[in-house]
C-alpha cells in the first residue's frame, strides 16, 4: 500500500480547489499516497479554505485515511488512503462552500465502496463559482448515470451566500465497473425549460423579471420553441437565508442536456441575471457540443475510471477540463486525446471531441 507518495503541484493550470478534488479522489480510489504542494498558491487567499478542508475531511472519512497538513491556510497536505467504505458520511463546510463540489469529490469514491453510502452534505446549494444544486440534479445526474449507476439526491434545505446552511442528502450504491459513454451527437433542441427562484426577503417579482428577461433573450434565437421558465418563491422552511438565481436547460432530440445559469447579486438588476443565464445557454448551444462547458470537467474522472473508450463532444475546452485531464493522466494513467471535431457541420464552430481510454477500474469489494 505505502510507497513514495505521488507529488502533485497544486499551483499549476486551474491552480485551485479542483486540483485537490481530482487528485484526492483518485488517490482514494487507486490507493495512492499523495502529497499536494502549492495549494491555491496564486489565489488572493492562498491555501485551504473551509470548503476545501471539509472536502478533504470527507475523503479521509470515506476511506479511514491519514491526512496531514489539513488546516485553514495550509498550502501542503499529505494523504494516505485506506479501504473505501460505505455507510453514512457527513461533510459540513460551515460556510456557503458548495455542496455540489463536496459531491464532486466524494461520488467517484463511494461508487467503489463495499456497501451503499449516504452522503449528508451541508453548505451552499446555490453558490458562486460552483454548479447550482439544480444543475447537479437536472443536468449532471441524468448524464453521469449513463456510466451505469444511479443515485438519489434529496434537497432538504437550500442555502445561499454568505451563510450557507443548506443540506443535501445523496444516496448511492456501489458498482462493479463503470461503462464508457458516447455523447457526440447533440441533435436538435426540442424544448427549453427552467426555474427562476427567490428565497428569503426577496420579492417574487424578481423571479418573474429574471424569467421574463431570459425568455425574451432565448426567443430571439429560437422563435418557435416551447420555452417554459417557472418563477418560484422558495418556502421559508426550505431555504436558509436570502438568495435568487435562475437555471435554464435545453433538451435535445438525442437526449442531451445543456444549461445556462446565473445567481442574483446585490445591485444587479433581475433582467441582467436572466439575460446572463440565457446568453450562457445560447453560447453552449451555438458550439454544437453534446455537453456544456460545466459538465465537461465533471465527466473526466468518470471517463478515466470507466472500462473502454468514452467520447464527448463539446465547445472550447475549459481550463478546469484541461486540469482534470492532466491529473487523470498523471495519477490514473488514463489516456486522453482532445481534437477538433472533423464533422463538416462543425467546421465553422469551436467544437472538440474529448476521447478517453479508461482504466477499467473494478470494485474489489463486489
**Neighbour-count burial for 338-354, b at 16+ CB within 10 Å, e otherwise:** eeebeeeebeebebbbb
Beginning with the edge strand found earlier in the chain, give each strand of the sheet holding 117-123 in spatial order.
87-92, 117-123, 166-172, 151-159, 239-240
Ligand-binding site membership of 135 (annotated)? no
Ligand-binding site membership of 296 (annotated)? yes
3-state secondary structure string across the chain: CCCCCEEEECCCCCCCHHHHHHHHHHHHHHCCCEEEECCCCCCCCCCCCHHHHHHHHHHHHHHCCEEECCCCCCCCEEEECCCCCCEEEEEECCCCCEHHHHHHHHHHHHCCCCCCEEEEEEEECECCCCCCHHHHHHHHHHHHHHHCCCEEEEEEEEEECCCECEEEEEEECCCCCCCCCEECCCCCEEEEEEEEEEECCCCHHHHHHHHHHHHHHHHHHCCCCCEEEEEEECCHHHEECCEEEEEEEEEECCCCEEEEEEECCCCCCHHHHHHHHHHHHHHHHHCCCCECHHHHHHHHHHHHHCCCEEEEEECCCCHHHHHHHHHHHHHHCCEEEEEECCCHHHCCCCCEEEEEECCCCCCCCC
Phi, psi (rounded to 5 degrees) for 111? -65, -25
Which of 89, 287, 320, 326 is catalytic? The answer is 320
183 near 256, Cβ under 8 Å? yes
Measured in whole angstroms, the distance separating CA 289 from the mean position of its chain's CA atoms is 18
Ligand-binding site membership of 352 (annotated)? no
**193 noted as active-site residue:** no
Ligand-binding site membership of 104 (annotated)? yes
Ligand-binding site membership of 298 (annotated)? yes
Ligand-binding site membership of 178 (annotated)? no
CA–CA distances in Å: residue 101 to residues 122, 125, 158: 11, 10, 15
Residues designated as active site: 320
* Binding residue positions for ATP: 104, 294-298
Amino acid at each position: 500500500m505505502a510507497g513514495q507518495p505521488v507529488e502533485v503541484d497544486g499551483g499549476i493550470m486551474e491552480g485551485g480547489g479542483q486540483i485537490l478534488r481530482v487528485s484526492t479522489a483518485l488517490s482514494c480510489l487507486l490507493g495512492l499516497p499523495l502529497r499536494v504542494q502549492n495549494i491555491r498558491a496564486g489565489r488572493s487567499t492562498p491555501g485551504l479554505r473551509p470548503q476545501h478542508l471539509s472536502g478533504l475531511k470527507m475523503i479521509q472519512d470515506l476511506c479511514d485515511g491519514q491526512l496531514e497538513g489539513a488546516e485553514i491556510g495550509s498550502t501542503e497536505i499529505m494523504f494516505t488512503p485506506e479501504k473505501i467504505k460505505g455507510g453514512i458520511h457527513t461533510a459540513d463546510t460551515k460556510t456557503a462552500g458548495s455542496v455540489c463540489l463536496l459531491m464532486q469529490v466524494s461520488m467517484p469514491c463511494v461508487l467503489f465502496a463495499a456497501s451503499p453510502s449516504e452522503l449528508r452534505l451541508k453548505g451552499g446549494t446555490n453558490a458562486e463559482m460552483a454548479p447550482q444544486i439544480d444543475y447537479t440534479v437536472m443536468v449532471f445526474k441524468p448524464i453521469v448515470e449513463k456510466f451505469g449507476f444511479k443515485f438519489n439526491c434529496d434537497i432538504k434545505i437550500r442555502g445561499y451566500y454568505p451563510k450557507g446552511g443548506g443540506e443535501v442528502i445523496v444516496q448511492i450504491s456501489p458498482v462493479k465497473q463503470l461503462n464508457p459513454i458516447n455523447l457526440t451527437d447533440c441533435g436538435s433542441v426540442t424544448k427549453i425549460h427552467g426555474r427562476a427562484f427567490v428565497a428569503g426577503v426577496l420579492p417574487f417579482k424578481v423571479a418573474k423579471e429574471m424569467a421574463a428577461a431570459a425568455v425574451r433573450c432565448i426567443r430571439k434565437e429560437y422563435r418557435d420553441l416551447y420555452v417554459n421558465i417557472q418563477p418560484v418563491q422558495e418556502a421559508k422552511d426550505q431555504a436558509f437565508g436570502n438568495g435568487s438565481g435562475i437555471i435554464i436547460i435545453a433538451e435535445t432530440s438525442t437526449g442531451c442536456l445543456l444549461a445556462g445559469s446565473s445567481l442574483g447579486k446585490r445591485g444587479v438588476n433581475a433582467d441582467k441575471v436572466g439575460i446572463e443565464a440565457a446568453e450562457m445557454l445560447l453560447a453552449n448551444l451555438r458550439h454544437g457540443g453534446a455537453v456544456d462547458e460545466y459538465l465537461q470537467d465533471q465527466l473526466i474522472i468518470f471517463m478515466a475510471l470507466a472500462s473502454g473508450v468514452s467520447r464527448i463532444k463539446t465547445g472550447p475546452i475549459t481550463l478546469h477540463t484541461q486540469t482534470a485531464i492532466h491529473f487523470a493522466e498523471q495519477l490514473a494513467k488514463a489516456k486522453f486525446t482532445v481534437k477538433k471535431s472533423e464533422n463538416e457541420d462543425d467546421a465553422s464552430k469551436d467544437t472538440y471531441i474529448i476521447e478517453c481510454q479508461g482504466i477499467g477500474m473494478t470494485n474489489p469489494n463486489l
